[in-house]
Structure 1
């Protein structure tokens, strides 16, 4: 399987495609690619029995696709945890390294890494890590963009994207922060939030707000 197909499986997994339909627009926003490219790749995943597509509803993973995605996500996120926890990598820098490492990691090695790290349940950007038996706590799939004005929520996780993580680092948005959603600007403008601990108001871009998940 090509790295691009694997990226699609992982992003559909991250967006909730194990339980619900994910739109082409969501995938395009998260991967920062054209919607036409998504349509073409979705067709290939469907042909290979990894995904199901319902016109005007979206795409979800088949049982085969879920198993494949869980294996990829497990290796990727355990490596991210190792890089941040043991090698002091900054969060925006771990994705590229983990992308390389996951493809050369055997099941024996990932199990040993997991034990060495104390069996972590979540990676540094908040995503759940499936254990060796495929068990994990389901992530939140409620995006900041879809959260109503006035809501008080906790930042739970970020999509695993280098540019996104760099941007969130620059605006100092962090996992675990409790925030109030102040307003959604019209015409794909930013979502303004207020950090409850400090009172600071932060405008989060339209694209980023679709890749930040809250609970």
Structure 2
């Protein structure tokens, strides 16, 4: 399996495709690629038995796709946790390193890493870490961009993206912050929120608002 297909499996899982359907648009925004490229890759992965693609309904993982996605996500997030907790990496630095390490991690190594870290439940950017049997608690799959004006939510996790994590560090948005959405600007404009935790008003870009999961 190519690294690109593995990225698709991981992002479909992260968007909720293990138990529900996600759209081409969600995948395209999350991977920052053209929607046409998503359609082409998803068709290939459907032929190979990793995803189910129902036109106009969405994309979900098959049992085999889910199994592989869980393994990849577990390896990736364990390494992210190790890099931050043991080696002092910052959040924007961890994705590239964890991306390399996840592909050379055997189940035995992943379990040893898990034990050494105290069996963490979540990675540094809030993502759930599946256990060694592939079990995990379901994350929220509601993104900030889809929250209605006037609603108050709590930041649960971020998509693992270097530019996003750098951006969020700059605006000081953290896991656990409570936000009230004040306004969505039209034509794919930014989302204006009030961070009730830090008592700050923030303007969050359209794409970034698709990378922030809230509950």
Normalised-by-shorter TM-score class: over 0.9
What's the counterpart of residue 21 of structure 1? 21
What's the counterpart of residue 66 of structure 2? 66
What's the counterpart of residue 117 of structure 1? 117
What's the counterpart of residue 49 of structure 1? 49
1:198–1:161 CA distance, 2 compared to 1 (3 A): closer
Structure 1 residue 52: Cα displacement: 0.2
Distance 2:197 2:63 in 1: 42
Counterpart secondary structure, 2:182: strand
Structure 1 residue 128: Cα displacement: 0.4
Q: Given the alignment of the two structures, is residue 80 of structure 1 paired with residue 87 of structure 2, yes or no?
A: no
Segments of 5+ residues of structure 2 without an aligned counterpart are none
Structure 1 residue 197: Cα displacement: 2.5
Deviations 1:155-192 (A, max 9, x none): 00011111211211111111111111111111111111
The correspondence of residues 126-165 of structure 1 with structure 2, limited to 5 A, is 126-165=126-165
What's the counterpart of residue 182 of structure 2? 182
Deviations 1:80-128 (A, max 9, x none): 0000111110001100000000011111111000000000010011110
Moved over 2 A (4+): none
Structure 1 residue 204: Cα displacement: 0.6
Segments of 5+ residues of structure 1 without an aligned counterpart are none
Q: Which stretch shifts more, 158-167 or 142-151?
A: 158-167
Distance 1:59 1:70 in 2: 17
What's the counterpart of residue 34 of structure 1? 34
Structure 1 residue 77: Cα displacement: 0.2
Distance 1:138 1:147 in 2: 19
Structure 1 residue 135: Cα displacement: 1.1
What's the counterpart of residue 107 of structure 1? 107
TM-score by length of 1: 0.98
Distance 1:57 1:211 in 2: 22
TM-score by length of 2: 0.98
Counterpart secondary structure, 2:86: helix
Distance 1:140 1:100 in 2: 27
Structure 1 residue 198: Cα displacement: 2.9
Distance 2:44 2:139 in 1: 26
Distance 1:112 1:177 in 2: 32
Q: CA RMSD in A?
A: 0.7
Q: Given the alignment of the two structures, is residue 170 of structure 1 paired with residue 170 of structure 2, yes or no?
A: yes
